[in-house]
Amino acid sequence: MIDIFIDDKKISAEENQTILQVAKANGIKIPHLCFHPALKPSGSCKLCGVEVSSPAGKHVVMLSCIIKVKEKLEIRTNSELVKTTRTKAFNKLLQMAPDSLRIRNLAKEFDVAVIPPPDGCIRCRLCIRVCNEIIKAKALKMVKTENGSMVVPEPGRCNGCGTCANLCPTKIIKVVDLDNVRTVSIKKETIGQLPLERCEGCGTMYATINFIKHVEETTHTHPDTKEHHHLCSSCIKLMSNRAATERERIKK
């Protein structure tokens, strides 16, 4: 038997044991994922790093599942050096398995702040820019949170046009038309919920009342605007084709 020190506590250990085995046997917790008692250690996950002080006074992080104990070895399981290495190791694993609850729960248990799970938004701001610059509804904004910046709705401003959803490259913004109501949402948050208007031509619900009003208000001064129709895109196309055929007929 030899004596080692883990977090300043003197512990007796057998010489061929690893640091992780000794820590486990003495109720000292070290995070680990790739260690299995029936298999040879592989040092793959890098979560089990501990700070080891060499006789020359150097402090290095070593994998506790691999390194065997030696007489008078001094080990720290929660030093600043260990915490930094551990955080890096957790984040590296989460880049490969971002939705792994086991890794996230283990990080929580050891008080490690890790990267948040991906939310499907690439922060291109196309939704915000089109809503501000073209639609002018200003229904979306970017806010800073503890998990980084995020796109969030500005309550009561959406007119339900759906342009943000059309432009969103990852399709994280959704438009759902149900029971004559359009709901525009981002992740679990509602951007707008507005009643739909019926097309005068075919009767399908085609756009929100608020958006039609917005179009009328913003285009009524345009020299090409003669009158406003409440028609869906298919009926407008049909009407334009008919008008073109009629013009051709008159020309002949």
- 123 interacts with, out of ligand SF4, ligand FES, none, CB within 5 to 8 A per kind: ligand SF4
Could you give the CA distance from residue 18 to residue 68 in angstroms, rounded to a whole number? 4
Which of 70, 83, 78 is CA-nearest to residue 28? Answer: 78
Near ligand SF4 by CB under 6 A: residue from 22, 61, 63, 121: 121
Strand partners, 63: 49
Near ligand SF4 by CB under 6 A: residue from 66, 126, 215, 238: 126
Q: What is the DSSP letter of 42?
A: -
Near ligand SF4 by CB under 6 A: residue from 26, 170, 233, 234: 170
Among 40-48, 73-81, 162-170, 190-198, which window interacts with ligand SF4 (CB under 6 A)? 162-170
Near ligand SF4 by CB under 6 A: residue from 68, 125, 141, 157: 125
Residue 172 touches ligand SF4, criterion: CB under 6 A: yes
CA distances 60 to 3, 54, 56, 67, Å, are: 20, 8, 11, 12
Q: What is the DSSP letter of 140?
A: E
Residue 36 touches ligand SF4, criterion: CB under 6 A: no
- Say which residue the tokens 């948040």 belong to: 116
Q: How far is the CB of 120 from ligand SF4 (least distance, A)?
A: 7
For residue 103 the two structure tokens come to: 């890794």
Residue 107 touches ligand SF4, criterion: CB under 6 A: no
